[in-house]
Amino acid sequence: MTQSIVVQVGQCGNQVGCRFWDLVLREHAHVNQMGVYDEALSSFFRNVDQRRGAVSTGGRITALKARAVLVDMEEGVLGEILQGPLRSLFSSTQLISDVSGSGNNWAVGHHTYGLVYREQIVDQVRKAAEHCDCLQCFFLIHSMGGGTGSGLGTFVLKLLEDEFPEVCRIVTSVYPTAEDDVITSPYNSVLAMKELTEHADCVLPVDNQSLVDIVGKIQHMSNTGKLGCAIKKDCTIISGQGGVVKVEKPFDAMNNIVANLLLNITRY
């Protein structure tokens, strides 16, 4: 069985990433009610027993740790993750953050923070890779509009190519809407796109405007009682209902769609 490592960069990358982890756990709990640490679970999680160390597949679930590295140059989102319901999935060393963010500036993320955090990021990715028997894929999640996601995100992509050339790099890139608040987002997107074309094996482009439209349509159908059998009320496509994260945040419904997309392409 192969394993994958998720690298989530910037606010958007981390918020989408958290919806993904929430959804993976819910789906797994649904199909594996005995709480067995099986091969499907091992593709994204390690199972760690405090006394015995890593537990091999076939045993009971003790403490799951996500195969992930979380990077954001602002503390806010990572701080929330460390205090939120998913906190036990990550040890603090898996989280890499600074204080002030990249100020929506691609170059600050790519060049300034890239150079400063290069070693720390490589170290954490290497540690995560050492815990894998057969590392197949990196899943990078980031936004194209923000400075950290686009700048540092694409720096990390190149880093992964340099350090692990044989491991496939699949990137989920969230594109800004035409009315995006971030004035520099078109520039950040173009600069990041060049890096994607050079260093990614596969890009899953996600358009924020389409996400807004889909969420709006589903909510309209729900309000007018027109939800049919295709989409049920509170289904996982847009809703976190039944998940470990109880309070829905502004981007959650949109991020659930992206998390579903990722879950569907990684399902065994």
Give the footprint of ligand GTP on this chain (CB under 6 A): 10-12, 15-16, 72-74, 101-104, 143, 145-149, 174, 176, 180, 182, 185, 208, 211, 251, 254-255
- Rounded to the nearest whole angstrom, what is the least distance from the CB of residue 217 to ligand GTP in the complex? 16
Token output for 111: 């060049």
117 binds, among Mg ion, ligand GTP, none (CB under 5 to 8 A by kind): none
Query: Which one of ligand GTP, Mg ion, none is in contact with 176 (Cβ closer than 5 to 8 A by kind)?
Result: ligand GTP
Q: Which of ligand GTP, Mg ion, none does residue 97 bind (CB under 5 to 8 Å by kind)?
A: none
Name the site residues for Mg ion (rule: CB under 5 A). 11, 74, 101
d(CA 81, CA 16): 12
What would the two tokens of residue 229 be?
């059998």
Tokens in use for 251? 């981007």
Residue 177: CB minimum distance to ligand GTP, A: 7
Shortest spacing between CB 260 and Mg ion, in angstroms? 24
Q: Which residue is nearest to Mg ion (CB)?
A: 11
Q: Which does 189 bind (CB under 5 to 8 A by kind): ligand GTP, Mg ion, none?
A: none
Nearer to ligand GTP, 208 or 260 (CB): 208
Minimum distance from residue 107 beta carbon to ligand GTP (Å): 11
- CB closer to Mg ion, 22 vs 74: 74
Closest contact distance (angstroms) between CB of 114 and ligand GTP is 13
